[in-house]
Amino acid sequence: MTDDQARHHVRFVLVRTSHPGNIGSAARAICTMGFERLDLVTPQRFPDPEADALAAGAPGVLDGAGVHGDLPQALTGCSLALGLSARRRGVTLPELTPQEGARQAWQAASEGREVALVFGNEQSGLANDELAHCHAMVRIPSVEDYSSLNLAQAVQVVAYELRLAMLHGVDVEMPKPGDPPANLDQMEQFFMHLTQALEDIQFHKGRSPRTIELRLRKLFLRARPDQRELRILHGILAEAQRVQRKLEKALAGD
């Protein structure tokens, strides 16, 4: 795959952006580094003249931007999502430097996989629930007590590192024979099944399910299962649900 094809597999996702000027500046930032795919999740104001002004004409990026109702929708088709965060959060993901993140992202894009770089809201950053859709977190190593960059400047740093990865090249692995890796849509379907199955078998016993769910998401995202492995896991869950229903029926018949 050529670099020109690979760059179309990279999308920059801005989540719940408050300031339209940041959307414009982010569009300019990615454009200067040779990228053009921008996806917005529930932006506060978009389209907006301030976004247009700060994009400085970045050819077509704002016109082509996707606007989505939630993060999973913006990640449709992706098999790698990296969440940008200045802070380490409760359920820790593997943490990468911008250089490591960019190299992984560019490698995946060069293999024809869809890749997302996900950026949070200006005030609150990425919420735990949003980071839970990401395979790893990327932290720009800013100073401890003033760590938060302006959103568009964080986008610029990552776009620059991706550009370096593109210029220096990365070892592109040939796609492995066998089943393709599960993409994030398939992972979401699996997580919904897992949540339902744990509820059906009354796994939580009245405790809050959220922490366990976040930990399990982390585990399965780290494992990066392929589609066949995911089918096996679905099969196991379906069997547990079937046995549970049978048991409940038998008990009701007593």
Any contact of residue 154 with ligand SAH (CB under 6 A)? Answer: yes
For ligand SAH, which stretch binds (CB under 6 A), given 59-67, 82-90, 178-186, 232-240?
A: 82-90
Among 3, 53, 64, 87, which residue sits at the site for ligand SAH (rule: CB under 6 A)? Answer: 87
Any contact of residue 231 with ligand SAH (CB under 6 A)? Answer: no
Among 61, 84, 109, 131, which residue sits at the site for ligand SAH (rule: CB under 6 A)? Answer: 84
Burial 177-194 (b: 16+ CB within 10 A, else e): eeeebbbbebbbebbebb
Any contact of residue 147 with ligand SAH (CB under 6 A)? Answer: yes
* Smallest separation, CB 203 to ligand SAH (Å): 32
Any contact of residue 100 with ligand SAH (CB under 6 A)? Answer: no
Among 42, 45, 139, 198, which residue sits at the site for ligand SAH (rule: CB under 6 A)? Answer: 139
* Smallest separation, CB 22 to ligand SAH (Å): 8
Task: Determine which helix (DSSP H) or strand (DSSP E) holds 10, and give its type and residue range.
Answer: strand 10-15
Q: For residue 80, which amino acid is it?
A: L
C-beta of 50 vs 122, nearer to ligand SAH = 122
Task: Determine which helix (DSSP H) or strand (DSSP E) holds 23, and give its type and residue range.
Answer: helix 20-32
Among 119, 190, 191, 220, which residue sits at the site for ligand SAH (rule: CB under 6 A)? Answer: 119
For ligand SAH, which stretch binds (CB under 6 A), given 69-77, 84-92, 183-191, 238-246?
A: 84-92
Cα dihedral across residues 61, 111, 220, 142: positive or negative: negative
The Cα-based distances of 200 to 219, 231, 248 in angstroms read: 21, 19, 10
For 128-185, the DSSP string reads: HHHHTT-SEEE-----GGG----HHHHHHHHHHHHHHHHHH---PPPPPSSSPBP-HH
Pair type for strands 114-119 and 95-96:
unpaired
The contact set with ligand SAH (CB under 6 A) reads 84-87, 119-120, 122-123, 125-126, 138-140, 142, 147-149, 151, 154
